[in-house]
Structures are given as structure tokens and as C-alpha cells.
Amino acid sequence: MDETKIHTTPKDFFLWVGVIVALYVSAISLLALLFEYIDIIFVSSFNTFQYSYSGAIRISIASLIVIFPIYLYLTHIINKDIRKDSSKREVGVRRWLIFLTLFVSGITVIVDLIVLINRFLGGEELTYSFILKVLSILIVIGGVFLYYIYDLRGKLEDSKVTSQIIFWTVSIIVISSIVSGFFIMGSPQTQRLIRLDRGKIDNLSGIQWQITNFYQQKGRLPNTLEELKDPLVGFITPKDSQTGKEYGYVLADGLKFYLCADFNKESRGYNKKQTKSNGIRSSIKYNSGYSTDGENWAHSEGEVCFERTIDPDKFPQIKRAIQ
């Protein structure tokens, strides 16, 4: 065989490096997307806010939309070159990267099976979400392993029909996964409204903290949100960025108060039974370690008021030294 024909050219090197990088990114993005879907279906009760998982879905979809077509295009060019010149199969970079891919995918499948068997033998509960994630890894990574086994043997380049069948099958799977993401997340406009709602929750959370700090410092609740302004620490009461209006604040009996905002969308996991007829949520005592996620800030669409009660035992007043 003529050695010049199997010499690795710059084109060969960058084509194969590009196709393998695109393969890894596409496979990881597809698995991440499938994992998110599984969590939404089987663990949705723990994800109260829709935007708690939409970020991972967005980045996975964006990666697949950009990188997966690049992978298909580079693979097409490589297979076309090999059909023209069969000696391209012996290019060093091709064999190295294919064997590396086979090694990585093989190890991944083995570890996946070990984890599954270990949990089974240990008597741990095999949840639907865990089993589906294991199957997802086996299908995606196992598919990559089998594809490059056939590729290494030269069966794909020899059969254009087989290559096209694999091309369309994988494309349909990826496209279906991407389309499913849009059904779950909604349109970009919906995502914009959800991000605005998230900003409102963050603002209310900050105001809530300032009210608690105000109580600890002065032993009472502020009459208005204007009293929370503190030039020394640089706190300025935030306004609704969407409407430019101030957030609602209602002082009730004792250490109870309400924080109100107008929301665009109902948060995921919101329970309508928790809301009174006047739109004010049932009481949730404000305690240490609160989070901006979960039922603490679950809301319906429209104006919602969150009822808060400061627990003086957990938030005692700060006694100042008498000078």
C-alpha cells in the first residue's frame, strides 16, 4: 500500500477531531435532556417552579440544535471521502479517536450496569426514574458503541443505504427530543414571562429579608416599604421591573404581613386549594433557612399576596449595648 495515501493530512485531523467533539457534546446534551424529561415526569412534585429546570433544558436543546447538525455534516464528509479513497480508513487519527470512543462508551455502559446491579443486590428501591435513566444511558451510549464498531469494520461506508437509515433514525430521535422540550418549556415568549416572574420572587424574597432585619433592629414591622431604605447598606426597595410599580405590602396584626405581586404565569406545583377566595395564600410561618423555591413562593397567575409571620423565637431582637 502506498504510504502517502494513508498519511494524516490537516484536513483528516480536524475533520476527525471535530466529529468526535461534536459526537460527545451531542450525546451528553441528549442524555441531559432525557434526564430532565424523566425528572419532570417522575419527580415533578419536587420542582415547584417551572424555571427550576428550564435552564438545563434550554442549554441542552441549544447544544443539540447547533452541534448535532455539525456532527452529521462532518460524518457525511468523512464517509464520502472514504468511499472515494478506501485507504482513508487507515488514517491514524481516525483509528485512535474511534478506539478512544469505543473505550469511553464501553466503560460508561459497564459502569451503568454495575450501578444498576449494585442497587438491586443492595435491596435499594429501583424507581422508575432511575431505571429510565439507566436505560437512556444504555441506549444512547450503547448506540454510539455499536455504530463505531461497524464503522471500524468499514460496513457503514460500504453501504450507503445503511448509513441513511441510521442518519434518519438518529435525526428523528434528536428532533423529537428537541420538540418535546418546547412543549414542556413553552415558547420563548413564555420563558420571558417566567423569567420576569422569577425576578419578582427574588425581589419579594429580598424585601422579606429586609423586613425581618428591620424587626430585629427596631422591634417592630415597618409601616411602609419606604422605611426599609438604608443608604448605609445601599438597600433600595426594588420595584416590579415589568410594570415599574411598587410591590404590595400590607401590615396585619402582630408580626404578620403580606407581600404582593402580579404574576404572568402560574408556578408549577401550585395548589389552588392553598389559596383563599380573596387571593391571599394560607399562612406560612417565615423561619430560618427559607428558600425562594418550593411551596413557600408557589403562586397562581395574576395578583397574589404571600402571608408571612415572623417567629420572634427564631428571629430575636438585637439588643444594643447602652453607651
CA 83, CA 154: separation in Å to the nearest integer?
10
Its pTM stands at 0.66
Tell me what pLDDT residue 190 has.
79
Alpha helices (H) along the chain: 10-42, 51-84, 92-121, 128-152, 155-158, 160-185, 188-218
Q: Residue 106 pLDDT more than 50?
A: yes
Tell me what pLDDT residue 6 has.
67
| Structural domain boundaries in the chain | 3-186, 190-310
Cell of 303: 395578583
Tell me what pLDDT residue 167 has.
87
Tell me what pLDDT residue 157 has.
65
Which of 190, 167, 195, 188 has the alpha carbon at shortest distance from 62? 188
CA 187, CA 50: separation in Å to the nearest integer?
13
The answer to whether 294 and 271 are in contact (CB under 8 A) is no
Cell of 202: 427574588
Q: Residue 260 pLDDT more than 90?
A: yes
Tell me what pLDDT residue 26 has.
95
C-alpha separations of 139 from 75, 116, 136, 191 in Å? 20, 15, 5, 31
Tell me what pLDDT residue 79 has.
84
Band of the pLDDT at 62, cuts 50, 70, 90?
very high
Tell me what pLDDT residue 320 has.
61
Residue entry with cell 427559607: 290
Q: If you count them, how many residues does the chain have?
A: 323
